[in-house]
A and B are shown apart, each in its own frame.
Chain A
Amino acid sequence: MSALAAPPAGATAPKPSPSRRRPGSGIRRGEGAAGWLFTLPVILILAVFLLVPVLMALWVSFSDWNGRGSPLSSGVHFVGLQNYAATTTGGGLAERNFGLALRNNAWYVVFVVPLQTALSLFLAVLVSRQVLRGRGFFRTAYYFPSVTSSVAITVLWLFLFSASGVVNAIIAWFGGNGPNWFSDPRGLWAVVAGWFGMTTPPAWLTQGDFLGVSPWEWIQGPSIAMSAFILMAVFTTSGTFMLVFMAAIQNIDPALAEAGMIDGANGWQRFWRITLPQLRPALFTVLTLGLIGCWQVFDAIYTGTQGDPGKTTLTPAYLSYQASFNDNQWGIGAAIAFILFVIIIVFTLFQRWVLRDRPVSQRRIRAYQPKAARQNGATR
């Protein structure tokens, strides 16, 4: 084995390869070198543009680098947790911006994830019907928005939802008066409250704050502008996730549904009790990917609103970019990126935990047992 076979720095005692024969002997001679040579380009690129950057950004998030020169030069100082502190406490603008970004994105997640999952599942079930003419056409129609670039879709959305745009023209048919979507900072729930005559928030909701954002601002929901982005995300992602569900539906044994039919279950019951439980892995995939994707909104905000109106479309990803590239607060930008990273990991783990395999509860089992058996169980 040549020098190429040496493991990269950080690798301690590589596990023996699972080959039956020892490498370097007989016909497999030279495979070790070839193996490293073949994987080297990918390893180098991933290391230089993923691993090193993360370490460097970690340093920047603990430093006072202002974007001039190299962050590794001697003029840059270690400032400890100062950047993280400025982002999460301290009452400054950085804290409030971060709080707003977090609020906006949290509402975005709350709306987009359930909507896109439900819609894509619904589309998949419709398109997977056993007898269906034009299946290919419908599949293509629902999937097409997913292949276009987020920039192109955002441009289209800006037009559709403009003050004199398509959506408002349709609302006008029904006699309504559409809002000026992308310039409307009012929260969705605040608008709904307004319909019921509540125009000013009760005093107890405006006192105190979390991350520089008052309780009233936290609960008033996504702004009208953000709602347009929410609809856009559902529009563009439902096709992708529909394919995931369709693949899963194809793998379901139709005999089970037939058995349910013979037992007298109607279509609704068959879906909830037979089809859906078997789609759990697909559901898990869609929820995980949806959740991860939703915390990374950047392209649409960069192209469309840059956080306006009234900072109601600011997201942590865009704020991190803005703080660094526009305001030269690189330490804060990097700190936000790492906090975002932690948020994504925590959410993924939490969701893994919620959707974990667990023993079926007694109550659940009883629901599936015939009545006679249930009564027996009750007397026992």
Chain B
Amino acid sequence: MTDQLSSGAGDDVRELALAAMSKTPPAPPQLLHTPVRRRSPWRAITGRTLLYVLLIALAAVYIYPFLIQISTSFKTEPEAALNPLSLIPQTWSVAAYEKLFQRSDFPLWFANSTFVTLCVTVGRVFFVSLAGYALARLHFRGRAFVFALIVAVMAVPTVVLLIPKFLVINQLGMYNSYTGMILPLLADAGSVFIMKNFFESVPVSVEEQARVDGAGSFRIFWSVVLPMARPALITIIILSFQGSWNELAHFIISASDPALTTLTKGVASLARGAGLGSGTQYPLKLAAAIIMTIPVAIVFFVFQRRIMNSSAGAVKE
């Protein structure tokens, strides 16, 4: 009795990481055997209709705000305030976009975000898979200790580290530099965890063959194991791209130079009232928010399948 009612509560983060590794696509929906008690067909039909009405209503709540966002960015400012609900602007206007690209630092913010995100993603994928491989496969003294350290680090909430990180970045003379913005983001304990789990699921026999042939550890990692790790690498790329593109707090504490402003920081400054000119400027702000959403939206739609099948790929703070 007891066993049936209480299923084991697993470790939170570990669970998610493991879930990420389940490469198997979701099982096709299984049909139940014929129900024992047949419901009348009318009740069944009403039930189904209600279900779809509910699903569609909920979907509307989730999607409508984004549609309004797009249409408002093409409205004039008075219309945005007067007619916030309409999906089609009465007078189309690209003034918001023009202003954004021609009379603000927006292009610079976009370039900074792109540069930082690319560096972080490339670097993180390399370092994290290297460490994950070592922890999964290489036998060395202190491995258990290193692993324990990484698990411990995963438990520290990021917001608590804001001031501490600034102190070190400042002390090391990296404040207001790309180094200070990029370097601390290169290692991510959670990603190491995911890679380690993945490498443990790869059969050892392939590597041993290469080892017998005399290949060194790095050679085995680079030309034998890494090409096999594509699914896990894509997970890490998505996580790291989304994470660094959407990162705000770290960039606030690592730089104050306007030349190093990223999109998140720049758009936040627009929202905070340091806008361009007077008024509420909602079309302008919403346009900026749309453009900064486009890259993550593209990554999302391209890798949608993978994100949906691995719950960890979805977790964002």
Contact = CB atoms under 8 A, between A and B. Distances in A.
Contacts of A3: none
Given A7-B145, A143-B308, A302 B268 contact: yes
10 contacts: A1-B141, A30-B217, A32-B141, A130-B30, A139-B308, A143-B314, A154-B268, A298-B162, A304-B271, A359-B2
A327 to B, nearest CB: 13
Contacts of A261: 32, 35-37
Contacts of A27: 211-212
A30 B133 CA distance: 15
A162 B282 CA distance: 10
A268 interface: no
Contact of A169 (B85, B252, B317): B85
A138 B55 CA distance: 7
B118 interface: no
Q: Which of A71, A72, A127, A159 has the most CB of B within 10 A?
A: A159
B139 A28 contact: yes
Interface in B270-317: 270-272, 280, 282, 285-286, 288-290, 292-293, 296-297, 299-300, 304, 307-308, 311, 314-317
Nearest to A11: B145
Interface of B: 1-2, 5-10, 12, 15-16, 19, 22, 26-27, 29-33, 35-37, 51-52, 54-55, 58-59, 62-63, 65-66, 68-69, 72, 80-82, 84-85, 127-128, 130-131, 133-135, 138-146, 149-150, 153, 156-172, 183-184, 186-187, 189, 192, 211-212, 216-218, 221, 242, 245-246, 248-249, 252-253, 263-264, 267-268, 270-272, 280, 282, 285-286, 288-290, 292-293, 296-297, 299-300, 304, 307-308, 311, 314-317
Contact of A41 (B8, B84, B186): B186
B134 A158 contact: no
Interface stretch (A82-90, A92-100, A206-214, A273-281): A273-281
A38 B138 contact: yes
Closest 4 pairs between A and B when the two form their complex, measured CB to CB: A35-B140, A53-B164, A38-B134, A34-B217
Contacts of A314: none
Given A34-B138, A138-B55, A147-B300, A296 B157 contact: yes
A317 interface: yes
Given A150-B246, A243-B311, A360-B1, A45 B186 contact: yes
Interface string A355-375: 111111000110010000000
Interface string A48-60: 1111111011001
A222 interface: no
Contact of B164 (A277, A295, A302, A334): A334
A247 B68 contact: no
Contacts of A239: 62, 314
B141 A17 contact: yes
The CB with the most chain A CB atoms within 10 A, among B35, B72, B131, is that of B131
B267 A152 contact: yes
A50 B141 contact: no
B304 to A, nearest CB: 7
Interface stretch (A107-115, A193-201, A282-290): A282-290
B12 A156 contact: no
A123 interface: yes
Interface of A: 1, 5, 7, 11, 14-19, 21, 23, 27-28, 30-36, 38-39, 41-43, 45-46, 48-54, 56-57, 60, 70-72, 123, 126-127, 129-134, 137-156, 158-160, 162, 164-166, 169-170, 235, 239-240, 243-244, 246-247, 250, 254, 257-258, 261-262, 264, 277-278, 280-281, 284-285, 288-289, 292-293, 295-296, 298-299, 302-304, 306, 317, 320-321, 324-325, 330, 333-334, 337-338, 340-341, 344, 355-360, 364-365, 368
A151 B282 contact: no
Contacts of A143: 307-308, 314
A72 B167 CA distance: 10
Given A34-B216, A240-B314, A302-B248, 16 more contacts: A38-B130, A38-B133, A45-B183, A52-B168, A57-B164, A139-B308, A140-B308, A150-B248, A156-B66, A160-B65, A169-B84, A243-B314, A247-B311, A284-B12, A296-B159, A337-B161
Main secondary structure of the interface of B (DSSP, over half): helix
Given A43-B149, A141-B62, A298-B249, A155 B289 contact: yes
Given A164-B82, A170-B85, A34 B218 contact: yes
Contact of A126 (B54, B63, B184, B315): B54
Contacts of B127: 41-42, 45
Contacts of A34: 134, 138, 140, 216-218
A15 to B, nearest CB: 5
A356 B139 contact: no
A32 B139 CA distance: 6
B126 to A, nearest CB: 8
A357 B4 CA distance: 12
B5 A360 contact: yes
Contacts of B168: 48-49, 52-53, 56
Given A169-B85, A357-B8, A17 B144 contact: yes
A149 B167 contact: no
Contacts of A264: 37
B144 A15 contact: yes
A30 B216 contact: yes
A355 B9 contact: yes
Contacts of A15: 144-145
Contacts of A5: 140-142
A165 B216 CA distance: 63
A317 B317 CA distance: 14
A41 to B, nearest CB: 5
A338 to B, nearest CB: 7
B138 A31 contact: yes
Given A30-B217, A39-B134, A359-B2, A299 B249 contact: yes
A134 B317 CA distance: 29
